[in-house]
Amino acid sequence: MIYADKNTGVIVCGATGNQGSFHIDRMNQYAQSIGGRGVVAGVTPGKGGQEVHGVPVYNSIQEAADARDASAAVLFVPGSAAGDSIMEAADAGLDLVVTITEHIPVHDVMNAVTYANIRGCRVIGPNCPGLFSPGEISMGIMPAHLASRGPVGVISRSGTLTYEVVHELTRAGIGQSTIIGIGGDPIIGQTFADALDLFADDPKTRAVVILGELGGNLEEEGARAAQIPVVAFIAGTTAPAEKRMGHAGAIVTGGEGDANAKISRLKNIGVPVADRLSQIPSLISEVL
């Protein structure tokens, strides 16, 4: 598994909101079932001193990290506040921030991800389902019952597509080491390349499924440098041409981003690409 394990103490930001409170409960139910530390603190400015499902709430990430020996955070804060929370987490010395929040202005993400990088803090997301390592840790909103423990890593830009594939893998008797949703926004923290690097060094992972979609070129970039067997699926092959951002977008990417072109490039570098989700388990069995 990568990024975090049983012993990671997790802070949830936006702890007193609907989503935050609901998922603190779910993450801790999972932590209890496997004997992990789980969520040890919540943060909501102005609500310090309260409790959410038995978890103490603090006013700032720094206070929470100091009081409860936490090294990672999951963000359920509103989009307008999320860039700020990422920087706060980095400043408090956390190693990892999983940003579930969607609709964050892209300039905020760009600045916050850059700042976190300077401070040595990894950002997963935004606009992602988070991180799930069966038998180790749940940091996000992935449904635990679909997953099973095993040698396959999953990296995805989409939430429910991930669940669908994890479900297929589990039904085919193929377990997972870590499932990571890197998010669907134009700018994200951890990329396919970053996660693939970590998977390559992880003794528990023997192959990785990457689930991409149209737009950008992060899938090819990651697969090209991967030091571990990779199988891919790309969504959006029949989507209407992406609403283009004038001329500059096309020039910057050199016309990359189209889902079919992406699939050809992946095949050219020797990556098996599934036409349908249901083919993924058999493609993975071949590379294992």
Partner 1 sequence: MKLKEYEAKEILSNAGIRIPRGIHVKKGNEFVVAPDIKKAVVKAQVEVAGRGKAGGILMADNSQVQETAEKLFQASIKGVFVEEILIEEQLDIQHEYYLSITIDRSKKAPVILFTSEGGVDIEEVAQKNPDAIRKATVYPLLTKVPGYTIRYLLNGAPKEIGPVIQKLYSVFMNRDALLAEINPLVMTPDGLYAADAKLILDDNALARLGISENRDLSERERQADAYGFSFVELSGNIGVIGNGAGLTMATVDLINNMGGKPANFLDVGGGADRVRVAHAVRLLGSMPDVSVIIVNLLGGITRCDEVASGIIEAGVSQKIIVRLAGTNEKEGKAILLSKGYLMLETMEEAVKAAVEAAS
Alpha carbon distance 15, 56 (integer Å): 10
For partner 1, the closer of residues 34 and 193 by Cβ is 193
| List of residues contacting partner 1 (CB under 8 A) | 19, 22, 79-80, 103-107, 110-111, 113-115, 129, 141-143, 156-164, 167, 184, 186-187, 191, 211, 213-218, 221, 233, 235-240, 245-253, 275-278
Nearest approach, Cβ of 4 to partner 1 (angstroms)? 19
Q: Output the smallest distance, CB 15 to partner 1, in A.
A: 17
Which string of DSSP letters, residue by residue, matches the chain? --S--TT--EEEETTTSHHHHHHHHHHHHHHHHHT---EEEEE-TT-TT-EETTEEEESSHHHHHHHHT--EEEE---HHHHHHHHHHHHHTT-SEEEE------HHHHHHHHHHHHHTT-EEE-SSS-EEEETTTEEEES--GGG--EEEEEEEES-HHHHHHHHHHHHHTT--EEEEEE--SSSS-SS-HHHHHHHHHT-TT--EEEEEEESSSSHHHHHHHH-SS-EEEEEE-TTS------HHHHHHHHTTTT-HHHHHHHHHHTT--B-SSGGGHHHHHHHH-
Residue number, 125 or 129, with CB nearest to partner 1: 129
Q: Is 247 designated active site?
A: yes
Q: What is the rounded CA–CA span in Å between residue 181 and residue 45? A: 27
Q: Which is nearer to partner 1, 235 or 287 (CB)?
A: 235
- The C-alpha atoms of residue 212 and residue 218 are separated, in whole angstroms, by 9
Q: Minimum distance between the CB of residue 257 and partner 1, rounded to whole angstroms?
A: 9
Catalytic, out of 103, 145, 167, 247: 247
Nearer to partner 1, 161 or 266 (CB): 161
**Cβ of residue 62: shortest distance to partner 1, in angstroms?**
21
What is the closest distance, in whole angstroms, from the C-beta atom of residue 67 to partner 1 in the complex? Answer: 29
CA distance 11 to 154: 24
> Of 203 and 247, which CB lies nearer to partner 1 in the complex structure?
247
Between 103 and 267, CB nearer to partner 1? 103
Residue 268 C-beta: closest distance to partner 1, Å = 18
Which residues are known catalytic residues? Answer: 247
